[in-house]
A and B are shown apart, each in its own frame.
Chain A
């Protein structure tokens, strides 16, 4: 059991390492990075923060667009963008603001808290990457 937990921690730390290197190599991504989000151990960071989703986060941080306008801005189909935004909403990175029939995604947070040594969050690595 302890070995399994240790492996989970090591895997999560490697994901954090990869994510931070991505941030360092692409500083513009920092503009969009969420403030605080709890990511369960069974969610791969590389999947949640895939380039297409980071592009959505970056756009949300800079522009106030509906889901359809966002899809147009990033040259993707509306259902795919909608699916990604719902996933980002599920993990607390994005919320939706409704104005009549128009629905605007908004950024919620600016740094990441990652459960480190247990699926219930007993112990976490938090990481804050920012432009100084």
Chain B
């Protein structure tokens, strides 16, 4: 089993993936996304099981989604 949590922001009428948490391919990681779609970097998510990974992703989004969005908007300019 794997999952993707993808924060998609609607900015000026366009939808952009801003941050993505992906557990597929045996390498759980967080993608910090750039406006053109590719990832700025992949950060490993080191956790024991899928349940912990869900919590890490949701907790990170709860704490930082506004910052992720503001930063992405700056990159768009």
What residues of chain A lie closer than 8 Å to B1, measured between beta carbons?
24, 27, 30, 129-132
Contact B8 A126 (CB under 8 A): yes
What residues of chain A lie closer than 8 Å to B43, measured between beta carbons?
none
Q: Does B30 contact A (CB under 8 A)?
A: no
Contact A125 B7 (CB under 8 A): yes
Residue-wise interface mask of A (61-105) relative to B, using a CB-CB cutoff of 8 A (1 in contact, 0 not)? 000000000000000000000000000000000000000000000
What residues of chain A lie closer than 8 Å to B51, measured between beta carbons?
21, 24
Contact B50 A128 (CB under 8 A): no
Q: Does A20 contact B (CB under 8 A)?
A: yes
Contact A17 B54 (CB under 8 A): yes
Q: Which residue of B lies closest to A20 (CB)?
A: B54
Q: Which residue of A lies closest to B66 (CB)?
A: A6
Q: Does A57 contact B (CB under 8 A)?
A: no
What residues of chain B lie closer than 8 Å to A30, measured between beta carbons?
1
**25 A-B pairs, CB-CB below 8 angstroms?**
A9-B62, A10-B62, A13-B62, A16-B58, A17-B55, A21-B54, A27-B1, A113-B8, A117-B9, A117-B65, A117-B69, A121-B10, A123-B10, A123-B69, A124-B8, A124-B9, A124-B15, A125-B6, A126-B4, A126-B6, A127-B4, A128-B3, A128-B4, A130-B2, A131-B1
**Closest CB pairs A-B (n = 7):** A132-B2, A17-B58, A128-B4, A126-B6, A20-B54, A123-B9, A129-B3
